[in-house]
Structure 1
Amino acid sequence: MNQTNSKMSIKREADHQFKKGESNWGFPSFLSLSKLHDKYGGYVVDGTCVIEAEVFVTDVFPLSTDKPSDSSVPTDQSMNKPSDLDEAESIYIKAESFLKSISKEPTTSVFDAKCAVPLIEDVASSAKERFDELISFPLDNLVDPKHETAMIECLHMLVDRLSLFSDEQAKEITRLRALFPTIIQEWRDSVQVKVSCQSLLSTFEKTENLLKGSVKTEEGIKIQLEELKIREQELKAQLEALQNESQRLEKERLEVSKQTQHIYALAEEQAVKIEGKEMELAGAENKLEDLKSNWASVKTVSFKHEIFGSQHLYFGGRQFICCFLAVVTALVCYLIILCN
């Protein structure tokens, strides 16, 4: 039953034939425990859950007098005879069915007080054992939905039975029940942030490594460019020196060319003048040789010869000297011309 909104109450209807000794009928589930224990759901209020059961008997089968089967609940031999018990049970069923048929007021199943206390203590003991097991788990295990649900169930069971604990324990259980969902949610949020940050950091680390590699490559290229620029400047300086030297040589050649042209013109002019001089030079050289020979013979003549002979020699020697001087003068002029 929903204690805050009756329209949200959950109902289940079914037809079933009840038989003696059978206890396996029912609904496996009504709603999830998280929904049941939701403090705003209205199903559990002040630790109390209300369950209503309406039973309508449509038909009553006669009780079987046969011996119970192997699956029947054994009876105590010390009790009354089977026929007496069967008759009493039949009367009870008929009376209960009659009351149900004339009244549609719901009947609420209530535990007998004497039986409820042991049951509560057993559930609390089981919940405490399960709680002690779960509380030892690390948070990354408790965020597992299965363990989280189990912890919530244990806490709700313990909170519903705070009277079994001391005041300090009751406060801790109540505080933990209130904080546990927040702790789990904050853990999940933090894990999500961590995963997101790790992913971002991992991506950034890869990008950073790529950037480092790119910068290193660029640095190597930059060094090569600087070396090439230095080499280029050196080559430019060498080229400029070569160009300057080339220009100097060109100017020098032009000057020499002018001189060559002048000398060439002079040589052409002189070449015209010396045509036929080779034969004349050869004749002069032969003449000089003859003069040398004659001079050698003159040096052997003695001044003790007769005066006639001396006079003859005088006139002959004088003639020889004049010829010799004429040839030498001609040869010197020729050499001067050649030098110019």
Structure 2
Amino acid sequence: MRWETVPLGDVVSPVSSRAGARKLPVYSVTKHSGFVPSTDYFKKQVFSQDLSTYKVVEKGQFAYATIHLDEGSIGVAPEACIISPMYTVFSVDQSRVDAGYLIRLMKSPTAVAQYSRLGRGTAERRKSISLEALGRLGVHLPPLPEQRRIAAILDDADALRSTWGETRESARRAISSRISALLSKSTDIKPLAQLLAEPMRNGISPSRGGRYEGEVLTLSAITRGAFDLRQRKSDLFAAPHAADKLAIEGLHLICRGNGNAELVGAMVAVTDQLDGVAFPDTMIGFRPSSEINSPTLVAAWRHPTVRDQLRRAARTTNGTYKVNQQSLSSIMVPVPRREDQEQIAALDAERARLDSQLARGLVSLDELFASLQHRAFRGEL
């Protein structure tokens, strides 16, 4: 089968039509999902009231973020729409190129790796890539029927990945809903101060003049929904880590400050045995009493009634939201009956088991998709 390699510029043409008075939906072009309605992506309106200078993209035309193409921000318009002037728009020669094939090719790791060298600019992540420069990129084009076959194979593989991911999210939501129902029926509500086995304490800060090297967690270790022991760093401290500053298994950690209001106050339990790793001053640590088990406390802390209290308790300084030991002590926490706590713990363990199993399957599908991409654009499918 004959494949040809041609400059992209030979099979695409620039498009520069402005919206004027034309009323069309506003889209953004994203890294992972291509064209997405702007209000869906940002959860609010971020575009200008005056859309007359926005660019029109007809169904099937391409657009990419001129300064973020090296991150994979390119897509094909699903309908006639308008997008910000910051994007570059082009059409393809449909007699030579299948749009489905080309978008897969242009979002492939091999293509994305080449974009940074095409840009012009001083900041690495802000390089502008003109269509003229992008047009010099060599693209491998088999005959149209083969392009469509390759695109269909990759679409099916990608759909399988999406289905697997949706199954994972559905399992999470279903178990979370059952846990939430058990928490909501609890009639016993107590301040966190009454559920502590030991006093709260802040972590340790690195010291500029420190002479003792040690490891300390970063906030990412506790703000991603579960404890992640990989999120730590080495630094210098004024003294060796004290025992009460170590992130030991069973300790509960709360995010004391964050620029994201939804992350301040986030709580996780340390679920791994670490060797001499401290928690930082941006966290508050404690152990819960036997009155409430760990899975129940962490789940209760994420319950909407508790999150509402945390939002009210947080104070902002220079864009950073903060809570302290005093404000946390008064947060009212539902304390279910012992049998309900045991059920919550069992559900939490089942969620972890299913999530791990589905995550491994998703990794396998990602590896399969990467292999198919590599083979597809080398003519090996």
Same fold (TM over 0.5): no
Q: TM-score range by the shorter chain?
A: under 0.3
The structure in which a higher percent of residues are helix is: 1
Greater RCO (Cα-Cα under 8 Å, separation 6 or more)? 2
TM-score by length of structure 1 reads 0.18
TM-score by length of structure 2 reads 0.17
